[in-house]
Each structure stands twice: as C-alpha cells, then as structure tokens.
Amino acid sequence: MWNRRKHLLLSSLSLLRHISSTSHLPRLHPLKPSPLLSPSNSFLPPVDSQLRNNLLLELPLRGFPRNLSSSNSCSFCWNCGVVGPTSGVFLACGSCGAVQPVDASVDYFQIFGMKKIYEIEEGDLEGIYKDWQKKLHPDLVHSKSEKEKGFAAEQSARVIDAYRTLKNPLSRALYLLKLEQIHVDEEKTVSDPDLLMEMMEMREAVEEAKDTQSLNEIQSKVKKKLDSWSKSFKEAFNKQDFGSAVNCTQRMKYYERALEEITKKL
Ligand SMILES: *[C@@H]1O[C@H](CO)[C@@H](O)[C@H](O)[C@H]1NC(C)=O
Ligand SMILES: *[C@@H]1O[C@H](CO)[C@@H](O)[C@H](O)[C@H]1NC(C)=O
C-alpha cells in the first residue's frame, strides 16, 4: 500500500514537472511587423497615405472620412485604392475583394471583431473563422497574382493562430495578459499542497477507472474545476487585478493538462 502511494506521489510530481513545460500550449507569436507589409498598406498617418495614394493611384478616394482626426488609422486597398474600414480589420477589400497584407498592429480580437474581454461566444468565433477561411481559401485565390496569393497565405495562417488562441480558455487568458503587457512566468509551478494532493488523487482515479463512464465522470469534475478558475480569471482580469489573474492561469494550466491526460485514456 505504501509503495503504491509513493509511486503515485512520484508520478504526480513528474506530472507537475511536465505541466510546468508549456510545449503543449499554442505559441503566442510576438507581433512582429510582416516583411510583406508594403508601405502603402500599413497604417500610416492619414495625411501621408492620402497623398501617397493620390499620387500613386490617381484614383478618387471614395468614402474618405472627412474628419481625419477622428479616426486614428486609415488604410487603402493596394489593388483599387478604396479606403478600408476606419475601425476593425481590413483583411479583404469590400470593393474589389482583393486580399490585403497582414497588419501586425491588428490583434486577434480585432480579427474577429470582438471586444478585448475574456468572455467570448464560441459560436461567434467559429462562424467568423469559417467566413474568413472561405474568403482566404487557396482555391479562391489560385487565379490571382502571386502577390495576392502570398497575402492570402499569410492572412490565413494568422487567422488560424488567432482562432486557436482565442478558442482555448487558457491561451485566451494568456493572450489577454500579453496585450496588457503583463509578464507571465509560464515555468512557474503552484506550490499548493492541496492542489498537489488533488492532482495525485485525480491521477489515481484515472488509473483505476474501469470504464468510459467513470472516466467521463472524472473528466466532468476536472472541467468544472477549470471552469471555476476560468471564472475567477475573468473576475480578476475585469477588476484589473492582474496578480490574481496570473495566479488563476497557473492553476488553469494544471486542469488543462489533467484534461489532456484523461482524453488520452478515453
Ligand atoms: C473631429 O473629431 C474629433 C474627435 O472625434 C473632434 O474633437 C473634432 O471636433 C472633429 N472635428 C471636426 C471638424 O468635426
Ligand atoms: C499569487 O500567488 C503567489 C504564490 O504563488 C502569492 O504569493 C501571491 O500573493 C498571489 N497573488 C495574488 C494577487 O493573489
């Protein structure tokens, strides 16, 4: 009996060590400027881009906002010169349909037209994701220029990154903290004996589970725990209590990892 306990404790410890490595999490790329970003498409000061486009394209600037100071960014379609939306994201031109280059200053929430808050509707995320993928699909742009195909491939990769990051509760939480420039030490483990014990017991139960039903029961318990920490994260984040919010993500990581372990057995 004692040996079994010791074995479980040791395997829990190794699980905890494993949890501290975050290789299973989607990587959050720093917002680097894209090499493909062409100057006429970046968010330049409005007057500059107006002049540039007038000179380069000699096209009437339809729908140009009159009060330039009221919009902090302004972009034009590289293909037809029409002005992009004054707020939100400019992935494809509403007028000629041309796919635009990636704008690294646009964050993942903006790609999905969502407020930068933790609580999002997964259905909305899914729907908008499918829409973007339809518009950026290689089959749809295969007849277009190499330049536009390049833009579409880049945009598509970025939309996939954005979707994966926002869909998962933990990576969404970490991304929000990143946007707030809050540093999260992802190597840090939680030194709470209760959590250690809980993980050990969970592991024991998973090992002893005889059928899918008992695994499902453990799974739903762990999901509830994750949900509850996820809710605590939301409350802390909304209050801008970033210290607590970071602590919540550290606990969420344990439950996410536990869910992965259970899924493997199911
Ligand atoms: C332009 O917008 C800014 C900010 O919204 C406002 O303060 C300013 O009065 C506006 N100017 C004109 C000419 O409407
Ligand atoms: C976060 O957790 C650490 C222990 O890991 C603790 O010392 C700290 O007080 C916690 N911060 C908040 C704001 O709860």
* Residue range(s) defining the domain that contains residue 156: 39-167
Q: What is the C-alpha to C-alpha distance for residues 74 and 173, in angstroms, rounded to an integer?
A: 29
Q: What pLDDT sits at residue 23?
A: 43
In the chain, count H helices and then E strands. 10, 0
CB distance 67 to ligand 1 below 6 Å: yes
CATH assignment of the domain containing 207: 1.20.1280.20
Asked whether residue 197 falls in the same domain as residue 162, the answer is no
If you measure from the C-alpha of residue 87 to the centroid of ligand 1, how many angstroms do you get, rounded to a whole number? 16
Within a domain: 126: yes
19 in the same domain as 105 = no
pLDDT of residue 202: 93
pLDDT tens, position by position, 150-199: 998 898 999 999 999 999 999 999 999 999 999 898 888 888 999 999 99
- Minimal CA–CA distance to 221: which of 188, 199, 196? 199
pTM above 0.85, yes or no: no
Instruction: Evaluate: CB of 239 within 6 angstroms of ligand 2.
Output: no
**Average predicted confidence (pLDDT) for the chain:** 77
Does 172 fall in a domain?
no
Evaluate whether residue 47 is within a structural domain: yes
Residue 225 sits in the same domain as residue 128:
no
216 and 122 share one domain = no
Q: Which helix (H) or strand (E) holds 194?
A: helix 193-208
Q: Whose CA is nearest to atom 11 of ligand 1?
A: 67
Asked whether 20 and 187 are in contact (CB, 8 A), the reply is yes
Number of separate domains in the chain: 2
A 10 A CB-CB count for 36 gives 13
- Ligand 1 center–CA 114 separation, angstroms: 26
**Residue 177 lies inside a defined structural domain of this protein:** no
Q: What is the pLDDT of residues 47-96, one digit of tens each?
A: 334 433 333 333 333 333 333 333 345 688 999 988 888 766 788 888 88
Are residues 46 and 151 both part of a single domain? yes
- Do 136 and 256 lie in one domain? The reply is no
Ligand 1 atom nearest to CA at 68:
1
